Amino acid sequence: MKNPIEHLYFRAKCLPNSVAIQRLDGAITYRQLLEVVRGIAFKFRELGVRPSQVAVTCLPNRQMDWIVTLALMHEAAVTCSNHGHSEIPQELGVDWVMADLAVGGVSEDRMVIIDKSWLKDLQQVPGDFGANAYEGTESLFRLVLTSGTTGHLKAACLSLDKVLNRCHSTTTLYFNPEEICLMALSTIGGFYVAMRKLLKGSILYHAPNLKDTIRLISQFQVECLSGSPVQLAHFIEEVRQTSLRMTSLKLVWYAGSEASPRLIEEIRQNLCTNVACWYGSTEVGGVAVFLTHDEAYQPGLAGYCVPEAEIQIVNPDHQPLVGGEEGQIRIKTPYMAMSYYLNPEETTCWFRDGWFYTGDRGKLLDNGMLVISGRESELINRGGVKVDPAAVDRHMQDFEGVIDAAAFGFENQRGIEDICAAIVASENFDMGELQKFLIGVLGKVRAPSVMLRVSEIPRNAMGKAMRGQLREKFGERLKGRLNQQEDPSQKPAISS
């Protein structure tokens, strides 16, 4: 098979009336989906879209993003979904941008505005119009934009065989492959859910908002839900405002960042008692799984290594550590990306000798459990004491009244790295009580010196806190405030 779109042709022939995409207001069958995909692909070919060209979609509507992606796949293009309408890195040198409105920095001859009028203008497709083939299984197939928590986008390269292998692996590992995924197609999680649906010929559920997602789950008795911790927290808030209950759910997955114990308990109470964690990355896929209702659960546990993956803990000289020692985490899988697109500097930094270095620190227990202790780039050096901001996050998010929170480090005027906590909280929330709580559980040296009330925490598409953006936005303001204090590590400043 030289193009996965052959699965769509196959389903349209064998099971033409089977549901491909299910919405609240109706369904799209596999025959209907193929007709629309071929119509868009035919128009793309006339516009000059060719095999191996890179095409980025900027389509927040997930259903349209998937349909346009399938049409580009039909033409054997290299596809990539942007995170909404965010700026596309110039270094990608993309050939095409398909969007619902104009995107800055893209020339008109490479921009295709896909709106209602463009879609109405689809022509009758000749019967002999067929899909183009990718050159081979090792051909570049998909670019996935990833930024970790730095905010600097890179594009992980996934070949056709890597995508197919990873889809097969996750299908065999998933307890229930029929699911609704809250993640966008631009994320690795959202993309692989959609690809698995195509390869298995099952239903891709689509809802434009959380309210409709709740109704979809209830109406069609969906058994599995997946998303980032932040997405699941918002989902629970939406569920609480409805009379519907998620009685059909048998499993809830979360990935992208760690969930606080309070959030896990809220998932159990409001959605489903079975809550599972996927640990991994865009570059290597999901590599560790853990069911949080296990008695051994505690914050920092990432999961047991899946059979296809190899995880090592190494020292700064890249030598493997044993016996539960803490170090850098590196991973190898048969379906991992091997580079960042047109970015040799970042590739050399993160991909070494067939391993991907995650940027996380952790250890492997004797029973095979991976424990994460924090991200190397985010550790705050407070007077010689290394503080993991993610650990601070967990305690803040467990405090009653905190909606979202993230800790970050910044340098005060004395040149000392200090800790600030950005808090999204309910009305009349007492920041002083939170500060007392954090000092009690973390100690004064690890507790934030400044509590900053904000309207939202900037997060990437996978739900990771963008601590660099918080530091850039509030760093100078905080530096002046702490300089006025005699001892910033002992006397907290609280601000709204």
Q: Is residue 39 part of a domain?
A: yes
First to last CA, the chain: 58
Q: Which residue has the tokens 């800055």?
A: 104
Q: Which residue has the higher pLDDT, 91 or 21?
A: 21
For residue 87, pLDDT over 90 is answered with no
Its sign, for the CA torsion 477, 479, 483, 489, is positive
Q: Is residue 440 part of a domain?
A: yes
At 129 the pLDDT is 95
**Domain final residue, candidates 111, 135, 159:** 135
Long-range contacts of 436-439 (CB under 8 A, 24+ apart): 437/395, 437/399, 438/392, 438/395, 438/396
Q: Residues of 193-226 as b/e, b for ≥16 C-beta within 10 angstroms?
A: bbbbbbbeebbbbbbeebebbbebbbebebbbbb
At 465 the pLDDT is 87
Q: Is residue 347 part of a domain?
A: no
Average pLDDT for 32-55? 97
Main-chain dihedrals φ then ψ at residue 286, nearest 5 degrees: -75, 125
Average pLDDT for 32-60? 96
Q: Is residue 216 part of a domain?
A: no
**Domain final residue, candidates 135, 166, 194:** 135
| Domain total in the chain | 2
CA dist., res. 97 & res. 44, Å (int):
11
For residue 25, what are the CA distances in angstroms to 22, 31, 178, 243? 8, 18, 20, 20
At 172 the pLDDT is 61
Tokens of 214: 């709740």
Main-chain dihedrals φ then ψ at residue 92, nearest 5 degrees: -70, -25
pLDDT band at 168 (very low <50, low <70, confident <90, very high): confident
CB atoms near residue 364 (< 10 Å):
22
At 495 the pLDDT is 54
Whichever domain contains 94, its CATH number is: 3.40.50.980
Q: Is residue 318 part of a domain?
A: no
Q: In this predicted model, what pLDDT tens digit does every residue of 433-482 receive, in sequence order?
A: 999 999 999 988 889 988 899 999 988 877 888 888 888 888 766 765 55
At 150 the pLDDT is 54
Average pLDDT of the residues of the chain: 88
Strand order across the beta sheet in which 402-411 lies: 402-411, 417-425, 450-453, 493-495
CA dist., res. 475 & res. 252, Å (int):
37
**Domain final residue, candidates 108, 135, 162:** 135
Q: Is residue 430 part of a domain?
A: yes
Whichever domain contains 409, its CATH number is: 3.30.300.30
pTM of the full structure: 0.85
At 376 the pLDDT is 80
Q: Is residue 416 part of a domain?
A: yes
Q: Which domain holds residue 429?
A: 379-495
Tokens of 485: 């204090």
Q: In this predicted model, what pLDDT tens digit does every residue of 394-433 receive, in sequence order?
A: 889 889 999 999 999 887 666 778 899 999 998 889 999 9
Q: Is residue 207 part of a domain?
A: no
